[in-house]
Amino acid sequence: MATEPVAPDTSASEGPPSGGWKSTRDYFLAGLVATGFAVALSEMLASFFVSAPSLVLTIGQRFIDITPAALKDWAIAVFGTNDKAVLIGGIVVVTILIGGLLGVVARNRVQVAAVGFVAFGVLGYALGITDPLATAGATLLPAIAAAASGIAVLALLRRLLQGPAGSTGPVTAPTPESRRAFMTASGAAVVLAVGQVLVGRLASGRTQSAVAAREQVTLPTVAASPSTTAAPASTTTAATTAATVEEATVAETAATTATTRAEEVVRVVADPTPAQIAQVEGVSELITPNEDFYRIDTALSFPSVDLDTWEVSFTGLVDSPFSLTYDELVALPMVERYITICCVSNSVGGELIGNAKWLGVPLRDLVEQAGVQPEGTQLIGRSVDRFTVGFPTAAVFDGREALLAIGMNGEPLPVKHGFPARLVVSGLYGYVSATKWLSEVEFARWDDFDAYWIPRGWAKEAPIKTQSRIDTPRPGTVDVGTQAIAGVAWAQNRGIDMVEVQVDGGPWMEAILPEELAIDTWRQWHVEYDFTPGSHTIAVRATDRTGTTQTSQIVPPRPDGATGYHTVQVVAV
């Protein structure tokens, strides 16, 4: 090839690299292709087995675990909820770029490049095996496949570039024919790699096994209505013991299970009445649909739990440790409760909050069964992915709603919200209370253990602060004339007593509140306001049942929750 400098006649083990810049580029490309192929193959294999971790995801997960809090905050601030996608993309790009350098090395020293790929595989295995669901055998497979396929593809492309003599004689520039063959092979490898990624996505053994397991689950369901004539006898019997008007005690119909479980009881909660729901357009729905519910966790891929082996255990400073299988858990007496959960990272006016009907076993029943000892002042909730929360054991006994939940809005917990079981505690931020994919409830001394977020700069005790949010109007323009100003306010476990709205620093106007659903849920509010032309600033503040009005003082989420009034600027035209 005329444009290519003639390769200096140096031996493969000494002297400068041969072939100049164009050649370097070809070998770099070969390295990129080989590494991309290797990553794609190992990801595809990992997706076939629940016990084989994705090497890319485990590297990402370890990265998240060791990342200093400041970098994490920066990533969330810059990339928002895309931070995980950016991390995964970054890991893939960096890995493939390193592979490109290995390709350049392989031009003269193919063995050194091979060692590089083996190092990739070893590192992948070492990190992969730290995945809580990984088994050694299943982790070896993608690691070996990555190393072996990387070496094989690189060796093949190198051979094409160097021609038959390349393996023995000195490295020479490729002929036009060999370069064409190289480009064709590279293209084919890229196409294959993309295919592997697609197959992997479809197969995704982990997610699918949890999704499939979840679909098999039958929650303790409730008869259509205690008064329905078609209701099974057990239902009628149980209904006669109904505790309150709001709570009918109904036996499960065991719809799809063969056995009748007459003694199993669910205290259902009545659906909201029209008087409890604001009839205002633009306000958040009183019950957040599962699809719209915010999601916050440190998991890069959702932990996939095998229901046949899953257990939740009660351990630590207790008299009678025990564990429950999923079937045993589901068979326990359950309650339904409307509880609003929210994230401490929610900024004023933010969206990291939602309200759901949770079905679960009162945590108090389980803690009493375990017999927590007086020194067991901290309840630690551990997850299958090794996340932890910790809150005062006293919260289980102070009368608040605290559930070991298995159902959300009438469905088994969605995988991303913690299937098969999670904690939900009224009045405590999620990071100290709401363990998803729960595996263990352990009791310890308060000072003996700090849960996941505590060393990362967040408060150890984190009661939810009284807050309110304007949902409508949104910032922007509104029509001149009478418009609804509406939103939600929350003070879980205390209840919202009053919401006030202020426009342009004028008098505070008391908002209309529908009847309260529960002190554990947010409350919708609204006022009608006559907007005059021009720009306006709307502010809101809530007062809880203890008589405390939310503070106007502006503080950021860290360390224990943001405060300040939510304000919205509009221009009426």
Ligand X SMILES: Nc1nc2c(c(=O)[nH]1)N[C@H]1C(S)=C(S)[C@@H](COP(=O)(O)O)O[C@H]1N2
Residues near Mo ion (CB under 5 A): 296, 343, 430-431
How many whole angstroms separate alpha carbon 87 and alpha carbon 57? Answer: 9
List of E strands, 64-199 = none
Nearer to ligand X, 250 or 344 (CB): 344
Asked if 294 interacts with ligand X (CB under 6 A), we say: yes
- Please choose which of ligand X, Mo ion, none residue 27 contacts, taking the beta carbon within 5 to 8 angstroms, the exact cut-off set by kind: none
Query: Of 293, 397, 446, 508, which lies in the binding site for ligand X, with binding defined by CB under 6 A?
Result: 293
How many other C-beta atoms can be found within 10 angstroms of the C-beta atom of residue 93? 10
Specify the residue, 298 or 369, whose C-beta has the smaller distance to ligand X: 298
Binding status of residue 298 toward ligand X by CB under 6 A? yes
307 binds, among ligand X, Mo ion, none (CB under 5 to 8 A by kind): none
The span of 247-255, 295-303, 316-324, 535-543 binding ligand X (CB under 6 A) equals: 295-303
511 binds, among ligand X, Mo ion, none (CB under 5 to 8 A by kind): none
Work out what residue 370 binds among ligand X, Mo ion, none; the CB cut-off runs from 5 to 8 Å by kind.
Answer: none
63 binds ligand X (CB under 6 A): no
- Those residues whose C-beta lies under 8 Å from the C-beta of residue 56, and which sit 6 or more positions away, are 39, 43, 88, 91, 92, 95
Which residue in 531, 527, 412, 415 sits closest to 468, CA to CA?
A: 527
300 near ligand X, judged by CB under 6 A: no
Integer Cα distance of 535 and 478 in angstroms = 10
Concatenate the DSSP letters of all residues of 339-389 into one string.
EEEE-TTPPTT-S-EEEEEEEEEEHHHHHHHHTB-TT--EEEEEETTS-EE
Q: How buried is residue 110: exposed, middle or buried, by Cβ count under 10 Å (0-12/13-18/19+)?
A: buried
Cα atoms in the Cβ-side hemisphere of radius 13 Å centred on 531: 22
Q: Are 349 and 531 in contact (CB under 8 A)?
A: no
> Which is nearer to ligand X, 193 or 300 (by Cβ)?
300
Minimal distance, residue 118 CB to Mo ion, in Å = 40
Distance from the Cα of residue 121 to its chain's centroid: 28
C-beta separation of 516 from 523 below 8 A: yes
CA 229 to chain centre: 43
Q: Would you count residue 560 as binding ligand X (CB under 6 A)?
A: no
Task: Give the nearer residue to Mo ion in terms of CB position, either 324 or 408.
Answer: 408
Of ligand X, Mo ion, none, which one does residue 497 interact with (CB within 5 to 8 Å by kind)? none
Q: Between residues 314 and 431, which has the closer beta carbon with respect to Mo ion?
A: 431
Candidates 4-12, 55-63, 383-391, 456-464; binding stretch for ligand X (CB under 6 A): 383-391
252: closest CA among 334, 337, 307? Answer: 334
Piece of 246-254, 315-323, 426-434, 528-536 that binds ligand X (CB under 6 A):
426-434
Find the part of the chain contacting ligand X (CB under 6 A) among 3-11, 313-321, 363-371, 431-439. Answer: 431-439
Measure CA 471 to chain center. Answer: 25
Q: Tell me if 343 contacts ligand X by CB under 6 A.
A: yes
Which listed range, 3-11, 151-159, 231-239, 289-297, lies at the site for ligand X (CB under 6 A)? 289-297
CA distance 178 to 163: 6
- Report in angstroms how near the CB of residue 346 gets to Mo ion at its nearest: 8
Count the neighbouring beta carbons within 10 Å of the beta carbon of residue 196.
Answer: 21
The option from Mo ion, ligand X, none interacting with 456 (CB < 5 to 8 A, set by class) reads: none
C-alpha to C-alpha distance for 503 and 539, rounded to whole angstroms: 6
The verdict on 387 binding ligand X (CB under 6 A) reads yes
Instruction: Please give the single-letter amino acid code of residue 106.
Output: A
Residue 270 or 296 with smaller CB distance to ligand X: 296
Residues that bind ligand X (CB under 6 A): 293-299, 343, 383, 385, 387, 417, 430-431, 434-437
